[in-house]
């Protein structure tokens, strides 16, 4: 068996969970926050048989889209009297970060 951890944008989490449960996968959602943009995301966790991993990966890929977002970078440390105008920077966000781990044991109690 495999344990799949998928970290996705909160905007994609609902559709992803709907798609996974429609295919009869049991899923757990944990609301989390990212470290780079400090925005909400979701960690979706599920245990599947080895042969189901590719199917789950394709569902994740179909439901988790990348987007371009503009952010204002943090200003550098300034000396008194200096002036800094932050310019927005485009970054790509979204998609999914997926980890697939071997499970030594799995029990549904």
**How much is the pLDDT for 17?**
97
Cα(17)–Cα(66) distance, rounded to whole angstroms? 17
Per-residue pLDDT, averaged over 54-81, amounts to 80
Strands 66-71 and 2-9: unpaired
- 20 lies in which domain range? 2-73+82-102
Instruction: Report the percentage of the chain scoring pLDDT > 90.
Output: 55
The answer to whether position 14 is within a domain reads: yes
**How much is the pLDDT for 85?**
63
E-strand stretches of the chain: 2-9, 28-33, 40-48, 66-71, 89-94, 96-102
> What pLDDT digit, counting tens, does each position of 23-67 carry?
999 999 999 987 666 778 999 999 999 999 999 999 999 999 887
**How much is the pLDDT for 33?**
85
The answer to whether position 109 is within a domain reads: no
**Residue 78: C-alpha distances to residues 83, 84, 100 (Å):** 8, 8, 44
The answer to whether position 95 is within a domain reads: yes
The answer to whether position 30 is within a domain reads: yes
Per-residue pLDDT, averaged over 82-102, amounts to 79
Per the structure, the count of domains in the chain is 1
Can you give the CATH number for the domain in which 32 is found?
A: 3.30.70.120
């Amino acid at each position: 068996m495999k344990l799949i951890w998928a970290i996705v944008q909160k905007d994609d989490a609902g559709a992803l969970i709907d798609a996974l449960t429609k295919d009869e996968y049991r899923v757990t959602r944990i609301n989390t926050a990212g470290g780079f943009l400090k925005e909400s995301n979701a960690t979706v966790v599920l245990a599947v048989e080895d042969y189901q991993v590719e199917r789950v990966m394709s569902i994740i890929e179909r439901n988790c889209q990348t987007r371009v977002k503009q952010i204002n970078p943090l200003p550098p440390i300034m000396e008194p009297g200096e002036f800094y105008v932050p310019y927005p920077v485009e970054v790509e966000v979204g998609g999914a970060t997926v980890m697939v781990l071997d499970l030594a044991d799995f029990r549904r109690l």
